[in-house]
């Protein structure tokens, strides 16, 4: 038996397309997922579709999806995030992470989430992104949540009035998706797409999806934190528009409209920028360009890839 395993050579991370240059997400269900050369193949009763692996940020796998080991090999080598979810993308089950060689942001995230003052500072910065015209630097978490609640209620009411869609609150049953009204279904579908993109960006930057600042205690807490920054701009208006126009295929309409609006608003690029900004300590900025450093208890980070001498050796003639 030959020791050679067929498949494309694993690329260097520097050769992969930047996350900002990729598609947003693709939702798949009731199909077989395989690969051919450097393309992912999706096969269902209608035929076969080829998807260039390096052009995808995230694949959402719904019910009835069967994926081969060869496809996962390509997906992993290409740095694509996989999210396994329920029907219509409503429930998040698990995810596969893309490769990353950088831990600077992860270390900074862990430091900030573990330090009470820094934790609150990041939460305030998140709300500052929501309230750019207000000074929230002195507000407590209770005050921040109160303002956010009032703001979101106004967004719901405005969208309800604009699209003539009755609104009685955000209610849905994860165990019975069909029991919800059209606008709540649309909100769940749109939010699932936004969560998928946020998860892909977080993983691509080497951060932890579970270390959140506003949301805590869930393995996707940071995903919810980041997605919440854009819901009022993207998923809420799209959901009410879709519910108001009553399309034949609500799910497809919402997914396409969310995708188009995220592209138009450059949400993917903004997520990259916003996450880096949120996790930057202005007093101790984290270097992001280089992947590997050595730790020194006095000097902090020092260069990797060079030979160091101890003090005695350095002082000897």
Rounded to whole angstroms, what are the CA distances from 224 to 70, 227, 306?
Answer: 31, 5, 41
Q: CATH class for domain 13-96? A: alpha beta
Strand-pair partners of 52 = 39
Residue 69 assigned ligand-binding role: no
Residue 228 assigned ligand-binding role: yes
pLDDT of res. 281: 75
Sheet strands side by side (includes 39-44): 47-52, 39-44, 31-36, 65-67
pLDDT of res. 91: 63
pLDDT of res. 215: 93
Burial call 252-279: b when 16+ CB within 10 Å, e when fewer? ebbbebbbebbeeeebbebbbebbeebb
pLDDT of res. 183: 93
Cα-flanking dihedrals φ and ψ of residue 29, to 5°? -155, 155
Residue 215 assigned ligand-binding role: yes
CB-CB contact of 16 with 38 (8 Å): no
Spans of all domains in the chain:
13-96, 104-278
Nearest to 109 by CA among 20, 14, 203: 203
Rounded to whole angstroms, what are the CA distances from 120 to 141, 221, 273, 278?
Answer: 8, 15, 20, 11
pLDDT of res. 301: 54
Distance CA 166, CA 189 (A): 18
pLDDT of res. 306: 56
CB-CB contact of 95 with 208 (8 Å): no
pLDDT in tens, the chain (317 residues): 444 434 444 444 443 334 444 555 677 889 999 999 888 999 999 999 998 877 777 787 888 999 999 999 888 877 787 878 776 555 667 767 655 556 788 999 999 999 999 999 999 999 999 888 888 888 999 999 998 889 999 999 999 999 999 998 888 776 666 767 899 999 998 998 898 888 878 877 889 999 999 999 988 899 999 999 999 999 999 999 999 998 899 888 998 899 889 889 988 889 989 999 999 876 666 554 444 445 555 555 555 555 556 554 445 55
DSSP code, position 285: P
CB-CB contact of 95 with 265 (8 Å): no
Domain 104-278: assigned CATH number:
1.20.120.920
Distance CA 40, CA 23 (A): 14
pLDDT of res. 16: 37
Question: Where would I find the H helices in 181-266?
Answer: 182-204, 221-228, 235-245, 250-264
Rounded to whole angstroms, what are the CA distances from 308 to 297, 313, 314?
Answer: 15, 10, 9
What's the token pair of residue 98? 């893309």
């Amino acid at each position: 038996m030959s020791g050679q395993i067929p498949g494309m050579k694993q690329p260097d991370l520097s050769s992969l397309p930047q996350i900002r240059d990729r598609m947003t997400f693709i939702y798949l269900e009731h199909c077989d997922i395989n690969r051919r050369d450097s393309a992912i193949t999706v096969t269902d009763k209608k035929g076969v579709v080829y998807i260039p692996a390096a052009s995808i940020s995230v694949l959402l796998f719904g019910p009835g999806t069967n994926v081969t080991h060869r496809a996962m090999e390509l997906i992993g080598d290409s740095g694509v995030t996989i999210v396994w979810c329920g029907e219509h993308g409503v429930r998040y089950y698990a995810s596969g992470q893309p490769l990353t060689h950088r831990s600077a942001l992860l270390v900074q995230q862990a430091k900030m989430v573990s330090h009470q003052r820094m934790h609150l500072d990041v939460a305030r910065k998140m709300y500052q992104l929501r309230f750019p015209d207000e000074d929230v630097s002195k507000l407590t978490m209770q005050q921040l949540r109160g303002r956010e609640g009032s703001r979101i209620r106004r967004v719901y009411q405005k969208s309800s009035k604009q699209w003539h869609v009755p609104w009685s609150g955000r209610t849905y049953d994860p165990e019975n998706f069909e029991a919800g009204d059209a606008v709540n279904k649309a909100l769940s579908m749109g939010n699932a797409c936004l969560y998928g993109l946020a998860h892909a960006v977080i993983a691509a930057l080497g951060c932890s999806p579970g270390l959140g600042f506003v949301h805590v205690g869930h393995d996707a807490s940071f995903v919810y934190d980041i997605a919440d920054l854009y819901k009022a701009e993207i998923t809420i208006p799209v959901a009410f528009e879709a519910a108001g126009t009553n399309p034949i295929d609500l799910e497809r309409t919402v997914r396409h409209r969310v995708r188009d609006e995220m592209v138009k608003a450059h949400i993917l690029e903004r997520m990259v920028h916003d996450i880096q900004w949120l996790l930057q300590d202005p007093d101790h900025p984290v270097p992001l360009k280089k992947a590997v450093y050595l730790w020194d208890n006095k000097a902090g980070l020092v260069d990797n890839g060079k030979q160091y001498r101890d003090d005695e050796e350095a002082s000897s003639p």
